[in-house]
Amino acid sequence: MARMRLKEMQKQLTRLTVVLLMALEATSQALPGCPHSLPGCPCSCGNVSPIPYPFGIGNSKLTGKNCFLEEALNLTCTNSTLYRGKGNVQILNISLAGKMDVLMQISEVCKNESLGREETYGYYISLTTPAFAISSEDNKFVTVGCDTYGYLNTFRNGTQSSTGCLTRCDSLQSVESMQRYGNCTGIGCCQVDIPPRMKNISFEASSFHNFNSTSDFNKCGYSFVVKNGNYLFSVDHLRRVPFNMTPLVMDWSVGNDTCEASKGRPGYACKSPDSECEKSPSEYGYRCKCKKGFQGNAYLPHGCQDILECSSNKHNCDSEDHCRETPGSFECFCPDGLIGNGKKESGGCHRRQPADAFKKIVIGAGVGLIALFLGISWLYLMYQKRKDIKLKQKFFQQNGGIILRQQLSTEEDSSQTTTIFSAEQLKKATNNFDESLIIGKGGYGTVFKGFLSNNKVVAIKKSKIVDQNQVEQFINEVIILSQINHRNVVKLLGCCLETEVPLLVYEFVNNGTLYDYLHNQGQGVNVSWKTRLRIATEAAAALSYLHSEACIPIIHRDVKTANILLDDTYTAKVSDFGASRLVPIDHTEITTIVQGTLGYLDPEYMQSSQLTEKSDVYSFGVVLVELLTGEKAFSFSRAEEQRSLTVHFLCSLKEDRLFDVIQVGLLDEENQQEIMQVAILAARCLRLTGEERPSMKEVTMELEGIKLTKKDPGINTDKICNESQYLLRETQSSCEHGDTSSQQNTEYDSLREHEVIDFGDGR
């Protein structure tokens, strides 16, 4: 029994020894000597080492699984020679960069002399594996011979493509005279580049069947693919090449799909966490490689290892001691007591010098001062910004902005709502109130041309300082005037209350004033009577609307040609009727501050200081006289008795000399009656007593009637004279004595008693 037990123990010990020896053999092959292969798989064959996974030979001795990733990468080691699969393609080297050196047979075509006639025979070489393609950048296709041409074919998607070259020569001397050793330039030897992505290849050498003249030295032709730098042509090769196989480089890949399509699949080959996938140059499958800073086999689970740049001297630090490893890279540093960044190109590390410390102190102080300055500047700007905001809020409240908002919120007609502009909007619209955009100046303010953000052109008035005690009246007037909607009244679009004095925004009228058109442009004589009569009628209609049809009657108080604007069709638009100034208000009408322009002022107003609608009628009568005569309302450049256009006109009308004062070129046979009727209407408007003047509504109706009245050749001059005498009874004394200065002087002296007289154009 003891002997049987001993024998049994010996058998078990023998079996355990065999297993341990096999494990040691597998471990010795897989771990220390074979870092690029699977465990238990051979990693060399003859002179080929290593054999990296995904390539492999047979099955693992440790696990029994395949040593290769896929069948196309299965290799065979026979008599210490490595072959692909069971074929006859010998493998010389395998690179994880996707390259593989192999030995390939050459194609040969020779003359068959045994048959007694000129026939040729040759060899057809092929390699059909989709995972392999001839490397276009590492090989050349070569043909050698004097009556030979070679083809290199590829088959893709059922179609064939070919490249190749041919060589012909008559004698050995011709080749020797044109070729040098090692050159393959077309005589006796030709070569071509290989197109990219050639797989499923075949190549063949062929003859032109023309060996008769070269049979003594060239009986065969050859075609082959060869690795760059591995073939040097010699004239002796025309007799016989000294080899039957050539080395060439193949591109290899794994899988049969793209990186994107393969990721996540069970068979995805890039196993290492520090690996990445790249596109195959053959456009079949993909390749795996280690990320930058790593090296090894990306196809193995932990095949990519961090490159130790510091210890392997793969760094640019001034020394290994100043190099620190990081994942996938490294960094240079300087230890305590040294300054610099540790890099060679930057001078490395060196000891801190006193001057350097002082320089750093200076730089630090400078940076600190700059930061302090920037901080103070920022705080100052923020303070100024808050100050500006508070100032705008103060002006807005001071100018009645809160009252205006409250009243606008109660308006029912949203189409007539006044726009409240910000100061920034109007500054931007006028380029910060650039003087080149000024289009008018007067006693009440300055008018700028502006361009809003929606490209709308407007007129923006900067008014003079107003009485803060009348803010509520001003706001009421802004709202009322913004609701005026008449084609012959300039539209008030809105206002800005964020400035010390309010800014008013009007529609822009682009053709100047009636005053400019009559007096300043030198073309007043070209304004036809028909146009003048239409302008007068439109202006009268606007004033009639303000007096009678507005929601609250409005007295303009400064009617003059300078306040009648013309658009591009010469349509009249009455402007500047008090919205830019605070006005006293009673229960029935809005009037403006006591102001006016010399030559247009109502004499009754000069005596009573009471402003009425008839004051506008008187001023409009002066406008009619300007349209008739083409003269200014008052001018010191004229003779003393003619300085006041009103007195001069009325005296001429009384003395039956009306046509003497009508502007030259204006009067003709067709418009005499109309001119006379307008002159009588003007005289009625100029009556000294306001009650005797017509209303603006009556003036408008009469002008409309004159426009529609047909020519009447019979003019009742007696009636006109009687009307003239009645109209001028209050100026008769001055006319009879030839002194027309009394009324003008009376007006002038009266005007001097008022401090608010405006001698500007009032726009």
Supply the pTM of this predicted model.
Answer: 0.48
pLDDT value, residue 725: 53
Beta strands in 43-129 (DSSP E): 56-57, 74-78, 81-84, 90-95, 99-105, 107-111, 120-122, 124-127
Q: Are strands 492-496 and 419-420 parallel, antiparallel or unpaired?
A: parallel
Beta strands in 194-254 (DSSP E): 201-207, 220-227, 245-252
Q: Which of 101, 558, 576, 602 is catalytic?
A: 558
Could you give the domains of the chain?
Answer: 99-252 (no CATH), 386-508 (3.30.200.20), 512-761 (1.10.510.10)
pLDDT value, residue 33: 63
pLDDT value, residue 56: 94
Mean pLDDT by 10 residues, the chain (763 residues): 54 50 41 77 92 93 92 91 85 94 90 56 70 90 91 85 89 79 87 87 80 63 94 90 93 91 90 92 90 93 92 90 91 88 86 70 89 91 85 78 73 64 90 88 79 90 68 70 85 85 86 87 67 94 89 84 90 72 43 65 81 90 93 84 87 89 87 92 93 93 86 49 53 48 35 30 34
Q: Is 462 within any annotated ligand binding site?
A: yes
pLDDT value, residue 667: 87
Question: Which amino acid, 509?
Answer: V
Q: What is the b/e burial string over 559-569, where b = at least 16 CB atoms within 10 angstroms of the residue's CB? A: bbbbbbbbbee
Are the beta carbons of 649 and 661 closer than 8 angstroms? yes
Contacts of 452 (CB under 8 A, 6+ apart): 425, 429, 458
pLDDT value, residue 466: 61
Are the beta carbons of 603 and 747 closer than 8 angstroms? yes
Q: Are strands 419-420 and 220-227 parallel, antiparallel or unpaired?
A: unpaired
Distance (Å, whole) CA 273 – CA 133? 28
Which of 162, 166, 140, 143 is closest to 153 using CA atoms? 162
List C-alpha distances in Å: 145 to 103, 124, 222: 22, 17, 7
Q: What are phi and psi of 72, to 5 degrees?
A: -65, -20
Write down the number of H helices and E strands in the chain.
Answer: 18, 32
Verify whether residue 193 is a known catalytic residue: no
Q: Are strands 74-78 and 56-57 parallel, antiparallel or unpaired?
A: parallel
Neighbours of 22 (CB within 10 A): 13
Contacts of 120 (CB under 8 A, 6+ apart): 109, 110, 111, 112, 206, 207, 209
Residue 73 carries which DSSP code? G
pLDDT value, residue 118: 43
